[in-house]
Amino acid sequence: MRRRRPGVFAWLPPMVPTFLLLGLFFIGPILWAAYTAFTNAALSGPAARDPEFVGWENFRRALHDPNLANAVWLTVLFTFGSAVIGQNCLGMLLAVLMQRRNQVIRAIVGMLVVAAWVLPEIVAAFALYAFLSGDGTLNAVLTTLGMEGQNWLFTAPMLAIILGNVWRGTAFSMLIYQAALSDVDVELLEAAQVDGAGPLRRFWHVVLPIVRRTVMTNLMLITLQTIGVFTLIYVLTSGGPGTASQTLPLLMYDRAFEFGEIAYGTAIAFVLLGVGALFSAIYARALRAEV
Amino acid sequence: MTRRRVAAALANLVLAGIALVFAAPLLWLLTTSVDAAAGLRVQVPDLTGQHFASVLAWESGGRALWNGVLLSGGAALVTMVAATFCAYPLSRYQLRFRRPFLYTVLFATGLPLTAVMVPVYSLFVRFNLIDSRLAVLVFLAAASLPFAIWMTKNFMDGVPIELEEAAWVDGASPMRALGTVVLPLMLPGMAVVAIFTFILAWGNFFVPFILLLDPAKQPAAVNVLTYFGQAGLVTYGQLAAYSIVYTVPVVGLYLVVSRALGGAFSLTGAVKA
């Protein structure tokens, strides 16, 4: 029904606020970053007042920085473990198990899983911190069961932040999959059952092919949400002990604000932004039918 | 039939186990917030209201809550208005750049906000905007704008264009038609966008943590960290109490939105998976 091809004075004015906001606070910083990453800008010292152009120096340094290699690896591990495996599979398991359960069970389980997701990130992080710490609830339970507790945040920091992020983010996948599963035609499933297919085969050969597109979209979205996670890890382990759980956002924060090396921090931010842009582009393309 | 029963029982058992694991960390917040002997584990509380009373005092916690309301409320308002204006041409006119623009918007919704914070910080330093609540408000608004435009455009597409054409025939300008015909029908959708932006801004810790250094200007998201040993002493009772006070508005608004859109799918539903 869009039959009007309007002049510039019809469409431009209403879009000006958006162009201004996004230009100043979104595109501006990214262009600024593109410039800063090639200087030696710092928080203090002579380089803070008058940054010099240093060419590819920051990126050359990044390439040989063992901390960056470590952070990239940990980010991959964190994203794969907590999002692709953890949230995605647990979300699907919950959605499948909750189908055709009675209303009360669905409501209670759904409420608890969603609650962890609705909480502000920092509150979720505090709750997890208390749960996993040396004096925490998890160890209290383990002790009553006759097992020995430990300070999980210190002895197994990656496992702690991965499980923490699964706890926090599973609701998103669960909600998406619940909606997708409710669209699956029941008659198809019944037909498969008549043909003698068990629950696993029905899921693998009937349900999964139907919801495949949803799974792909969900994987993109949770990957994008996970690579940028800062607050949860900052509260739980601060990237430590040492650099044992220092993912890219934590390394970026550490270099830029703790060490005051703004330019180098920006170069790391660019790595993060690059990974995000890649996944985001795939995601936007996958949804081209909607545009 | 017995096999079916066993399967159902097994499913219920697994669900109960998962529910317990999800409940345990949450339970700590509830018990600790009213426990005079607050610690790190879930225990039967020695009841007290002291923690809530002390965190609600203006200096220690009240002011930060108010700052949060100003920041998030302002951001929600700015985003909603900008998104509505921007969505109108996208939804109603035939524009050559419509598809590329929407692609870009969709692309921008996916970018991790964390990654732009270092350059944003240095920009804020350069233009002397550190500790400016207004600048942070506008930045938070800009950060949620791509998603808000996407949602608003979808809501606006749902309003039939025939209604406006009638208004145009009667001599109303497009903006007048937007104000008198489209907006009233879109109010629920706009409210969803505003609430959504508010929730995102209210829950964002990293942005104000980087850009607001003066404790008197920090919102609750950052202030809650002071109970977590930033000031030297960890006070778990107050930490839990303040966490709950800080969380309640989000849960309330979430319930409103999910009621409005039907079911818990609400916030993810707008993503159109």
Domain extents in chain A: 36-290
pLDDT band at A46 (very low <50, low <70, confident <90, very high): low
The answer for B191, left when phi > 0, alpha when psi is -120 to 50, beta otherwise, is alpha
Rounded Cα gap, residues A222 and A81, in angstroms: 12
pLDDT recorded at residue A291: 59
Q: Is the pLDDT of residue B264 over 50?
A: no
Which has the minimum average pLDDT: A25-29, A232-236, B209-213?
A: A25-29
* Residue B15 included in any domain: no
pLDDT recorded at residue A279: 84
pLDDT band at A7 (very low <50, low <70, confident <90, very high): confident
Q: Is the pLDDT of residue B268 over 50?
A: no
Average pLDDT over residues A243-250: 93
Q: Is the pLDDT of residue A1 over 60?
A: no
Chain A residues with CB-CB distance to B119 below 8 A: 29-30, 32-33, 36, 266, 269
Q: Which of A105, A120, A136 sits opposite B202 (nearest CB)?
A: A120
Report for A51-55, A107-111, A199-203, B161-165: range of highest mean pLDDT: A107-111
- Cβ-defined contact of A284 to B110 (cutoff 8 Å): yes
pLDDT recorded at residue B270: 43
Residue A111: CB atoms within 10 Å: 15
Both tokens of B208, joined, read 């104000």
Domain A36-290 in this protein, CATH class? mainly alpha
- Between residues A134 and B221, which one has the greater pLDDT? B221
Rounded Cα gap, residues A247 and A236, in angstroms: 13
- CA A126, A128, A129, A130 dihedral sign is positive
DSSP type of residue A82: I
- Cβ-defined contact of B18 to A90 (cutoff 8 Å): yes
Q: Which of B18, B42, B243 sits opposite A137 (nearest CB)?
A: B42
Q: Is the pLDDT of residue A195 over 80?
A: yes
Question: Which pLDDT tens digit goes with each residue over B58-97?
Answer: 888 899 999 999 999 999 999 999 999 999 889 888 888 8
Which has the minimum average pLDDT: A284-288, B55-59, B112-116, B234-238?
A: A284-288
Q: Are A122 and A236 in contact (CB under 8 A)?
A: no
State the amino acid at position B113 in one-letter form. L
Both tokens of A245, joined, read 């759980």
Average pLDDT over residues B189-208: 92
Name the residue of chain A whose CA is nearest to B149's CA. Answer: A18
Q: Is the pLDDT of residue A62 over 90?
A: no
Chain A residues with CB-CB distance to B26 below 8 A: 112, 115-116, 127
pLDDT recorded at residue B265: 42
Rounded Cα gap, residues B118 and B127, in angstroms: 14
Q: Are B137 and B74 in contact (CB under 8 A)?
A: yes
- Cβ-defined contact of B174 to A231 (cutoff 8 Å): no
Q: What are the helix (H) ranges across A50-120?
A: 57-63, 66-78, 88-98, 103-118
Q: Is the pLDDT of residue A272 over 70?
A: yes
Q: Is the pLDDT of residue A147 over 60?
A: yes
- Cβ-defined contact of A120 to B85 (cutoff 8 Å): no
Q: Is the pLDDT of residue B150 over 80?
A: yes
pLDDT recorded at residue A2: 47
pLDDT recorded at residue B19: 92
Residue B216: CB atoms within 10 Å: 10
> What percent of chain B is predicted at pLDDT more than 90?
41
Which has the minimum average pLDDT: A36-45, A173-182, B201-210?
A: A36-45
pLDDT recorded at residue B232: 56
Average pLDDT over residues B201-223: 93
Please report, for the domain that includes residue B71, its CATH number.
Answer: 1.10.3720.10
Q: Is the pLDDT of residue B174 over 80?
A: no
* Residue B21 included in any domain: no
Residue A11: CB atoms within 10 Å: 22
- Cβ-defined contact of A256 to B121 (cutoff 8 Å): yes
pLDDT band at B267 (very low <50, low <70, confident <90, very high): very low
pLDDT recorded at residue A54: 81
Chain B residues with CB-CB distance to A200 below 8 A: none
Q: Is the pLDDT of residue B239 over 50?
A: yes
pTM for this prediction: 0.89
pLDDT recorded at residue A250: 95
pLDDT band at B262 (very low <50, low <70, confident <90, very high): low
Chain A interface mutation, best of B122, B213, B236, highest count of A Cβ atoms under 10 Å: B122
Which has the minimum average pLDDT: A108-117, A124-133, B30-39?
A: B30-39
Predicted ipTM? 0.88
Chain A interface mutation, best of B10, B114, B259, highest count of A Cβ atoms under 10 Å: B114
pLDDT recorded at residue B266: 42
**Domain containing residue B208:** 29-271
Q: Is the pLDDT of residue A234 over 60?
A: yes
The count of domains in chain B is 1
pLDDT band at A28 (very low <50, low <70, confident <90, very high): confident
Average pLDDT over residues B158-173: 83
Q: Is the pLDDT of residue B271 over 60?
A: no
Label residues A44-70 b or e (16+ Cβ within 10 Å = b): eeebeeebeebeebbeeebeebeebeb
